[in-house]
Amino acid sequence: MRTATMGRLSDRTALVTGGSRGIGRSISLRLARDGALVAVHYGHDPAPAAETVAQIEAAGGKAFAFRARLGVSGDAVALWEAFDKGLAEYGAAPGLDILVNNAGITLPKPIATVSEEEYDRVFAVNVKAPFFVIQQGLGRLRDGGRIVNISSGVTRIAIPHIAAYSMTKGAINTLTLTLAQELGARGITVNAVAPGIVDTDINPTLKDPEVRARYAAVSAFDRLGEPSDIADVVAFVASDDARWVTGQYLDATGGGHLGV
């Protein structure tokens, strides 16, 4: 494992929702390697969050984990209260520089079989939660800060069996564009990063060699995405190098479905 470097994000604090597993873990590791203090949010299982923090600390980085359930009433208030408490216990200054809205759930069902309860749940976690997390966090976010929303390539590529999920990510793209205009006066950039098919343990279908090969063929590079592929893009838009980039949808699908 590469060790942390006091680099372009030193003296900054980042919060990654859903930061304990999969893409979220890779984002947490990368931001910490760039020097940020990373608040690793998790919703249910503390073990992966503790492991993520341990990996960051083993590489010389700084992190702490905190729990807040998303998709329920009052989730944003509870998240920020837990963040503030964790920050104080760590001995860090109040406030935030980088907010990565990564947490989300999927709903792999065609429109004909989606129930109202399922629809409400996926929108509660994927749209309502980040909306109010941002709203309640604006007072903590320092001028010149960064908001990075994790979208999806399904907003560009039609996949009928995840229609409701795709709609949530379309909403995130619109929120990104609107907030970029609103927060520009404070020097805050807002961008969306859209992964394609990424090889994580969260997707059990990728254990099937035939499925892996079929999904890999979707990319122009003929391979599945790695969590680090996404984390590196997030690290770019979270840095000063992307100070003139805002309101953008960054396609990180590896050229998914570029051809016929």
Active site residue ranges: 165
- Strand-pair partners of 149: 101, 192
Full 3-state SS string of 48-95: HHHHHHHHHHHCCCEEEEEECCCCCCCHHHHHHHHHHHHHHHHCCCCC
Asked if 42 contacts 65 with a C-beta cutoff of 8 angstroms, the reply is yes
Q: Please list, in sequence order, all residues whose beta carbon lies within 8 angstroms of the beta carbon of residue 113, skipping any fewer than 6 positions away.
A: none
Residue 158's SS3 state is: coil
Per this entry, what is the length of the chain?
260
- Strand-pair partners of 37: 13, 62
Q: Count H helices and E strands in the chain, helices first.
A: 8, 7
> What is the crossing angle of helices 22-33 and 46-58, to 10°?
30
Q: What is the CA radius of gyration of the chain?
A: 18
- Identify the residue whose tokens are 């990104």: 176
- Strand-pair partners of 42: 67
Q: Please list, in sequence order, all residues whose beta carbon lies within 8 angstroms of the beta carbon of residue 144, skipping any fewer than 6 positions away.
A: 97, 186, 187, 188
Count CB atoms within 10 A of the CB of residue 103: 24
